Amino acid sequence: MTLTLDLNSDLGESFGRWSLGDDVTMLGLVTSANVACGFHAGEPTTLHRTKADAAAKGVAVGTQVEYR
């Protein structure tokens, strides 16, 4: 039997010129990422960049949604 481990991180929380975390480095370490969206954090440019970077590294993407 082969066991696997999914290492996950919350990413995409930067907003415009305010940078939070080092998403590019984290994407080299994790196998999946929850990308912030909605009213949680992030904005369209950050969200698109984060998911494109994740796809390039073969990292699975889910959402980290926040509602008002």
Nearest CA-CA partner of 24 in 52, 44, 43: 52
Could you tell me if residue 9 is inside a domain?
no
Cβ contact 45:18 at 8 Å: no
What confidence tier does 65 reach under pLDDT thresholds 50, 70, 90?
confident
pTM, two decimal places: 0.83
Cβ contact 6:32 at 8 Å: yes
Q: What is the pLDDT of residues 19-55, one digit of tens each?
A: 888 999 999 999 999 998 866 677 888 889 999 999 9
Q: What are phi and psi of 22, to 5 degrees?
A: -125, 80
Q: What is the pLDDT of residues 2-12, one digit of tens each?
A: 999 999 999 99
Could you tell me if residue 12 is inside a domain?
no
Which domain, by its residues, includes 53?
A: 20-66
Could you tell me if residue 56 is inside a domain?
yes
